[in-house]
A and B are shown apart, each in its own frame.
Chain A
Amino acid sequence: MFGQLFHVYHVKLHRYAFTMLKDNDAASDVVQSVFIKLWEKRDVLLMEEAIGSYLYKSTHNLCLNHIRNTKTREHHTQYAAADMTPVVNNTKDKVLTAELSGRIQGVLESLPTQCRIIFIKSRMEGKKYAEIAAELEISVKTVEAQIGKALKIFREKLGDYLVIMAIITGIIL
């Protein structure tokens, strides 16, 4: 049972933790802690129907603690470039990745101005929606809508291409 929970949720929780921490290793540490806590409370928790909700909440809380304790966000935005080069497995992937970056750059430049600025602040600068809203004097809802719009435009312009890329590099399926 515990093994199955680990198996079902490990990758999902890691991905969720990563979105908050922007650091793969820190996300691994957090998820390890989530499961250690789960193990300690297994008698009570394994009975619960809503174990999934518990695991996501636990991950969220531990990520917030992690951010508070180490100020990960600033640290990693600052030093990211040095130690977080993405792992590229082989030449095929490298060629595909280079081609994809070029296409993404092209679409990014064609985005409407506000949409582009907001996407860059969120994705490249790692800023929270609230920070972006304050800087641009707009509402958080607007930031959210603009990011959704950016993703939609990217999907329209790169849709099939992204799907195929994802399949070739084995992300989907």
Chain B
Amino acid sequence: MNQHPEIQVDLSLIGRYLAGEASPEEAFAVDAWRELSAESNVTFETAARLWDEAHPVTAWRPPDSAAEWQQLQGHLEITPLPIRRTLFTPMRIAATVLVLLGAALLAWLLVPHKTATTPAYSKVISSGKAVLNDTLPDASVVTLAKNSRLSVSHSFAASSREVLLQGEGYFSVKTQTGQPFTVLAGGVRIVVLGTAFNVKEDSASVTVAVSSGAVKMYKDTASIIVNAGKTGIYTIADQKLRLLDTVNRNSYSYATRSLYFYNMSLGEVKQELEKAYNVHVVLENPLLAQCRLNTQFEEQPLQYVLEVIAASLGIQYRIEQNTVYFFGNECS
């Protein structure tokens, strides 16, 4: 990716970039460097954020790529990608209903059915069928995945910041000196100072994916520190805490609305799309599952994401009800 490995990216170069002094080679190197790790991207984004806020009159605003793409197509005189809307034949409807029923049954079987509430918690937030955002009394923000619940203690913010999670949630914690934020999930205690991370608790394990900052996971007397870009896993079967050197950023796309498809097969992309947009994805030609993608999306509507994927792979798609169908020839 980096065409100019000899260019050293540091704060001076980031400064040159922000000040409009960077040569095209330097700008390219800065952008390539940002993609190297979560830390380098955070370094850049915090500097950029500071730069913008120091003089908001000339602050960069991310362009509306979907609208710009539409506008560009007008200039290119190419036919827009066909979105064929097929009439619903009885067979298709029957098939869709079957798929939906199957999915509902599977969901019912997979989702843990827990109903216990602890009296020490005063406020309970339940996400039900949709992803839910909530701001806690200390201004920390939580995004709950579907079928999850968060219980907030009576004394939250007053003495300690403690919440009980059942299911999955993404937390952006506000820093408060001397007031750690604690998440209890599946018997594991996760203590943080100010950071963003995802917690997923199910009947087999508790998974903590950290996107920035660091957290500490405790199980009884054992503990591990999970830094940005890493994942901590507690496995219930052997009661052990483990550290993984990677983090799957798509695992919390329901909260951040960002999707990363790097060298990923369409078969894998399909699963991420289903989770992020709550749709069913069908590959009419099963060989399409082997097509590979290299791209990322930040808060884009489903239709835009589908257009880019279809255009990149030279295939087509259509949407019927809540199902996306990809069709066309397999990738060479």
Question: In the bound complex, do residue A53 and residue B47 qualify as a contact, i.e. CB atoms below 8 Å apart?
Answer: no
Q: Given A4-B308, A7-B308, A76-B58, do A151 and B50 touch, yes or no (CB 8 Å)?
A: yes
Cα distance, A143 to B300, chains bound together (Å): 39
Question: In the bound complex, do residue B196 and residue A167 qualify as a contact, i.e. CB atoms below 8 Å apart?
Answer: yes
Question: In the bound complex, do residue B63 and residue A16 qualify as a contact, i.e. CB atoms below 8 Å apart?
Answer: no
Query: Chain B: which residue is nearest A132 at the CB level?
Result: B19
Q: For window 39-62 of chain B, which residues contact chain A by CB distance below 8 Å? A: 41-43, 45-47, 49-62
Judged by a CB distance under 8 angstroms, whether B307 is at the interface is yes
A56 to chain B, nearest CB (A): 4
Contact partner, B295, options A4, A56, A124, A163, Cβ 8 Å = A4
Question: In the bound complex, do residue B25 and residue A168 qualify as a contact, i.e. CB atoms below 8 Å apart?
Answer: no
Contacts of A59 in B (CB 8 A): 24, 27
A105 to chain B, nearest CB (A): 9
Contacts of A71 in B (CB 8 A): none
Cα distance, A52 to B2, chains bound together (Å): 9
Question: In the bound complex, do residue A160 and residue B194 qualify as a contact, i.e. CB atoms below 8 Å apart?
Answer: yes
Contact partner, A11, options B10, B32, B63, Cβ 8 Å = B63
Judged by a CB distance under 8 angstroms, whether B265 is at the interface is no
Question: In the bound complex, do residue B172 and residue A164 qualify as a contact, i.e. CB atoms below 8 Å apart?
Answer: yes
Contacts of A21 in B (CB 8 A): 20
Judged by a CB distance under 8 angstroms, whether B312 is at the interface is yes
B47 to chain A, nearest CB (A): 5
Question: In the bound complex, do residue B295 and residue A162 qualify as a contact, i.e. CB atoms below 8 Å apart?
Answer: no
Cα distance, A20 to B60, chains bound together (Å): 11
Question: In the bound complex, do residue A163 and residue B51 qualify as a contact, i.e. CB atoms below 8 Å apart?
Answer: no
Judged by a CB distance under 8 angstroms, whether A60 is at the interface is yes
Q: For window 54-75 of chain B, which residues contact chain A by CB distance below 8 Å? A: 54-63, 65, 68-69, 71-72, 75
Contact partner, A104, options B27, B50, B57, B63, Cβ 8 Å = B50
Cα distance, A99 to B119, chains bound together (Å): 36
Question: In the bound complex, do residue A163 and residue B46 qualify as a contact, i.e. CB atoms below 8 Å apart?
Answer: yes
B127 to chain A, nearest CB (A): 19
Contact partner, A19, options B18, B62, B196, B299, Cβ 8 Å = B18
Question: In the bound complex, do residue B54 and residue A171 qualify as a contact, i.e. CB atoms below 8 Å apart?
Answer: no
Contact partner, B3, options A2, A31, A52, A108, Cβ 8 Å = A52
Q: For window 175-234 of chain B, which residues contact chain A by CB distance below 8 Å? A: 175, 194-196, 211-213
Question: In the bound complex, do residue B72 and residue A35 qualify as a contact, i.e. CB atoms below 8 Å apart?
Answer: yes
Question: In the bound complex, do residue A164 and residue B54 qualify as a contact, i.e. CB atoms below 8 Å apart?
Answer: no
Contact partner, B63, options A23, A24, A100, A129, Cβ 8 Å = A24
Question: In the bound complex, do residue A160 and residue B213 qualify as a contact, i.e. CB atoms below 8 Å apart?
Answer: yes
Question: In the bound complex, do residue A80 and residue B175 qualify as a contact, i.e. CB atoms below 8 Å apart?
Answer: no
Q: For window 14-41 of chain A, which residues contact chain B by CB distance below 8 Å? A: 14-16, 18-24, 27-28, 31-32, 35-36, 39
In the complex, the number of residue pairs spanning A and B with C-beta atoms less than 8 Å apart equals 208
Question: In the bound complex, do residue A87 and residue B16 qualify as a contact, i.e. CB atoms below 8 Å apart?
Answer: no
Q: Given A8-B295, A16-B27, A28-B63, do A151 and B53 touch, yes or no (CB 8 Å)?
A: no
Question: In the bound complex, do residue A3 and residue B312 qualify as a contact, i.e. CB atoms below 8 Å apart?
Answer: yes
Cα distance, A8 to B299, chains bound together (Å): 14
Cα distance, A14 to B27, chains bound together (Å): 11
Contacts of B32 in A (CB 8 A): 52
Q: Given A50-B3, A52-B28, A97-B56, do A154 and B50 touch, yes or no (CB 8 Å)?
A: yes
Judged by a CB distance under 8 angstroms, whether A74 is at the interface is no
Question: In the bound complex, do residue B72 and residue A4 qualify as a contact, i.e. CB atoms below 8 Å apart?
Answer: no
24 contacts between A and B (CB under 8 A): A1-B311, A2-B311, A4-B294, A4-B312, A10-B63, A14-B62, A16-B31, A24-B60, A28-B63, A32-B68, A52-B3, A57-B24, A60-B24, A84-B58, A85-B57, A104-B53, A123-B55, A129-B19, A154-B50, A162-B46, A166-B49, A172-B42, A173-B196, A173-B256
**Which residues of B approach A to under 8 Å, CB–CB?**
1, 3, 10-25, 27-28, 31-32, 41-43, 45-47, 49-63, 65, 68-69, 71-72, 75-76, 135, 141, 172-175, 194-196, 211-213, 249, 256-258, 294-295, 297-299, 307-308, 311-312, 314
9 pairs of A and B residues whose beta carbons are closest in the complex = A3-B311, A148-B12, A147-B15, A56-B24, A4-B312, A162-B46, A173-B256, A19-B20, A60-B24
Given contacts A1-B312, A24-B60, A31-B68, 12 further A-B contacts (CB under 8 A): A1-B311, A4-B311, A16-B22, A52-B32, A80-B57, A104-B50, A104-B53, A128-B20, A155-B43, A159-B46, A163-B46, A172-B211
